[in-house]
């Protein structure tokens, strides 16, 4: 069986990289071990499909209701981004979704018998690898989630999560259900420089930082990653003591990108990835922020903790050889947070 601790997901537009627990190992694909530095640090690879859907169709892919489909894992923080933006923009009836099995062995597979998972309702494929081969026969690269699929052209449009959420943010506005959803802009022009800047170091040290800790192959690489991770968390704690959201009083994509890591942190990363210097629950503002986002506009409905916990602990057998799943911690994401009131925003 392939080593699932090498598996990677659709990455990030800042570094154009992917991540080591949400990719299947593909025959003849570049080995994840080849991406380890001599000091034991994991480095990333680039997403393969980078086309865009646009409202007017200038890209060759025009935004239309019912044309596009998402393949996701509910365990994956990068795929989770796309589900949140789809939810916030009211696009559930416009863009369909299939969910792969949370148990990743040699391949991402479809399993309609497991709770919360689905068969492939678009292409009737058994595995996500088969979907990639439909888009590009003979494809031998990394097979990642999320995937944005074009039902009309029968191909993958994009498998880069940071780009998919920006398409969902604006290009499908004509099909949003309400004016509030249509007017919601998670990447407003006036904040783009600030969003890009904060995304860069949060991605490097937090989103990707937990993976650098968990998949380190030397004490030096692990120590450096942990130090950088918690320095960044401390920095965010200060920012959130002054503002409700990362950029002030307005929810942006930066908040969504941070949230999908933080909501997994205490449940998985503290123990499984050895990120145990502090829990998110030990930070007043970070923990309040997580609950605030969780309780926003149905976002909590996109969080499937059963998939998250089972995937990490049962798929990463080099880290957790016996696949034992912890029974804790018990966290109440619906507890009162008082965010906004405390920051006077």
Alpha helix positions (H), the chain: 77-88, 128-135, 161-170, 179-183, 192-202, 209-214, 219-242, 253-264, 270-272, 284-294, 305-315
The catalytically annotated residue of 42, 68, 211, 294 is: 211
Establish whether 211 is a catalytic residue. Answer: yes
Residue the block writes with tokens 């925003």: 345
3-state secondary structure of 157: strand
The catalytically annotated residue of 42, 68, 71, 76 is: 76
Residue the block writes with tokens 């601790």: 5
Structure token pair of residue 111: 């399993």
Overall residue count recorded for the chain in this entry: 345
DSSP letter string over 54-92?
Answer: BSS-TTS-B--TTTEEEEE-TT-HHHHHHHHHHHHTT-T
Establish whether 245 is a catalytic residue. Answer: no
Closest CA to 32 of 203, 273, 214, 199: 214
Closest CA to 77 of 196, 187, 210: 210
Euclidean distance between CA atoms 209 and 230, whole angstroms: 9
- Is-contact 255 207, C-beta < 8 A? no
Closest CA to 269 of 207, 181, 318, 336: 207
* Pairing mode, strands 143-144 and 23-24: antiparallel
- Is-contact 54 171, C-beta < 8 A? yes
- Torsions phi, psi of 170, nearest 5? -130, -30
Active-site positions?
76, 211
């Amino acid at each position: 069986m392939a080593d699932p601790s090498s598996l990677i997901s659709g990455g990030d537009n800042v570094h154009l990289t992917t991540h080591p627990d949400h990719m299947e190992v593909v025959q003849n694909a570049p080995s994840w071990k080849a991406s380890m530095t001599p000091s034991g640090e994991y480095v990333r690879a680039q997403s393969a499909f980078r086309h865009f859907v646009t409202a007017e169709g200038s890209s060759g892919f025009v935004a239309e209701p019912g044309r596009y489909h998402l393949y996701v894992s509910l365990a994956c923080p990068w795929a989770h981004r796309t589900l949140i933006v789809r939810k916030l923009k009211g696009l559930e009836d416009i863009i369909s979704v299939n969910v792969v099995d949370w148990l990743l062995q040699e391949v991402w597979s479809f399993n309609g018998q497991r709770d919360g998972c689905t068969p492939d309702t678009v292409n009737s494929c058994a595995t996500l690898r088969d979907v990639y081969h439909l888009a590009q026969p003979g494809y031998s690269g990394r097979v990642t989630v999320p995937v944005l699929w074009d039902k009309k052209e029968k191909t993958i449009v994009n498998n880069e999560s940071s780009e998919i959420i920006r398409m969902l943010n604006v290009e499908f506005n004509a099909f949003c259900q309400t004016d509030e959803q249509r007017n919601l802009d998670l990447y407003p022009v006036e904040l783009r420089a600030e969003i890009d800047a904060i995304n860069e170091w949060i991605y490097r040290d937090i989103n990707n930082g937990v993976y650098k800790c968990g998949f380190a192959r030397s004490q030096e690489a692990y120590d450096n990653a942990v130090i950088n991770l918690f320095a960044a968390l401390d920095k965010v704690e200060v920012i959130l003591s002054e503002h409700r959201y990362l950029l002030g009083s307005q929810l942006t994509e930066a908040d969504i990108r941070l949230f999908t890591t933080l909501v997994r942190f205490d449940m998985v990363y503290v123990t499984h990835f050895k990120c145990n210097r502090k829990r998110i629950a030990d930070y007043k503002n970070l923990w309040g922020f997580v609950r605030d986002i969780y309780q926003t506009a149905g976002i909590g409905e996109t969080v499937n903790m059963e998939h998250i916990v089972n995937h990490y602990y049962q798929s990463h057998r080099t880290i957790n050889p016996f696949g034992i799943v912890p029974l804790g911690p018990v966290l109440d994401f619906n507890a009162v947070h008082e965010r906004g009131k405390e920051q006077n925003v």
